[in-house]
Amino acid sequence: MVGVVGIELHVPDIERELAELVRQIPRGRVTTYRALAEALGDPGAARFVGEWLMGPGAEGLPVHRVVHASGDVGRFAFGTWEEKANLLSAEGVQVVGRRVSPLPRYFFWDFKGSRPLAALRAEQEELSRKAIISPLPPVERVAGLDVAYRDGVAVAALVLCEKDGEALDFVTAEVPVRFPYIPTYLTWRELPCYLAAIRKAEEAGLRADVYLVDGNGILHPRRIGIATHLGVILDLPTVGVAKRRLCGEVNTEGMVVGEWRPVVLEGDTVGAAVRTGRNRTLFVSPGHRADLESSVELTLSLVREHPLPEPLRWAHELAGEAASLF
């Protein structure tokens, strides 16, 4: 096991980068949400861009210069769409009805920036090659890790359990949230808090043979969800247990409690849909030093009356309770 002391994760300031990109849009020009996402390094972040531009962090920025790919001026956080269209018209942009027309005449794409999401994606791809997919080691103690949020603070709970699910002890840790929610980049939002919790647990002498993480392992477009990322950088056996399917294909129709079916992504089996309750399906995948069969077997062995495995059930409840105190 590699001690967590000294392990740091560089978290880029995505929101500041986005604000700088918006400032680059010249008067009399427009851009799109997707173009800004591409300038951040991933066109898949367009939804985040749109949501952030509607929030308080965008106040004072020329957000009226960001429109839909169709040319539709779209929503305006600081007024009506008519006011947004009027601002564009005053800057020399032709708006017909609700649309910038013709969009190519006014379109701006020549952004200068560091493309931080592209750098994070390259980091993921490099680390994914270091993941070890092999049967879990003998298990005597299992830890569950989950996180909750309150007022810009992430609160992680680590609960140490016996292999039968009986809770032994726990720690919680709080860190400021420094990264927004962007699908496939959850590591940079939640891992700092998990590292803080594991550090506190180590200092208290709480160590597990396997860590169940609320999130994905290799069930991820780049085969490195937060459970794999955590496992690789600390060289810990980890298993990802997600409440929703991030990617891949699986038919869950007609599943019964205790049954599991493979989740396939690009021809590879990367996880399992596991029915743990009458109306609950979890998505289990190996993180690091684990394989699919042993990950599913461990998860099912820890399910009692609640559809979450016991270490994660406790971690979920304790993280939420601790966050409510802020």
120-167 per-position pLDDT tens digit: 999 999 999 999 999 999 999 999 999 999 999 999 999 999 999 999
Amino acid making up residue 315: A
* pLDDT exceeds cutoff 80 at 193: yes
pLDDT at res. 4: 53
Mean pLDDT value across residues 169-176: 97
pLDDT at res. 6: 60
Strands (E), the chain: 31-32, 66-67, 95-96, 99-100, 141-150, 153-162, 167-176, 210-214, 238-242, 260-265, 268-277, 280-288
Amino acid making up residue 310: E
Query: What are the start and end residues of each CATH 3.30.2170.10 domain in the chain?
Result: 130-324
pLDDT at res. 2: 36
Residues near 108 by Cβ (< 8 Å), separated by ≥ 6?
Answer: 24, 25, 26, 29, 30, 31, 35, 65
- Higher-confidence position of 5 and 63: 63
Contact by Cβ (8 Å): 226, 240 = yes
Query: What are the start and end residues of each CATH 1.10.10.10 domain in the chain?
Result: 14-125
| pLDDT band at residue 8 under the 50/70/90 scheme | confident
DSSP helix/strand/coil, 253: coil
Q: 90-104 burial, b for 16+ CB within 10 Å, e for fewer?
A: ebebebeebbbeebe
* pLDDT exceeds cutoff 90 at 325: no
Mean pLDDT value across residues 161-187: 96
Backbone torsion region of residue 115, taken as left when φ is above 0, otherwise alpha when ψ lies between -120 and 50, otherwise beta: left
CATH class of 14-125: mainly alpha
116-125 per-position pLDDT tens digit: 999 999 999 9
Q: What is the pTM of this model?
A: 0.93
**For the chain, percent of residues with pLDDT exceeding 70:** 98
Q: 263-295 burial, b for 16+ CB within 10 Å, e for fewer?
A: bebeeeebbbbbbbeeeebbbbbbbbbbbbebb
70-107 per-position pLDDT tens digit: 999 999 999 999 999 999 999 999 999 999 999 999 99
CATH architecture of the domain covering 130-324: 2-Layer Sandwich (3.30)
* pLDDT exceeds cutoff 70 at 113: yes
| pLDDT band at residue 9 under the 50/70/90 scheme | confident
Contact by Cβ (8 Å): 319, 147 = yes
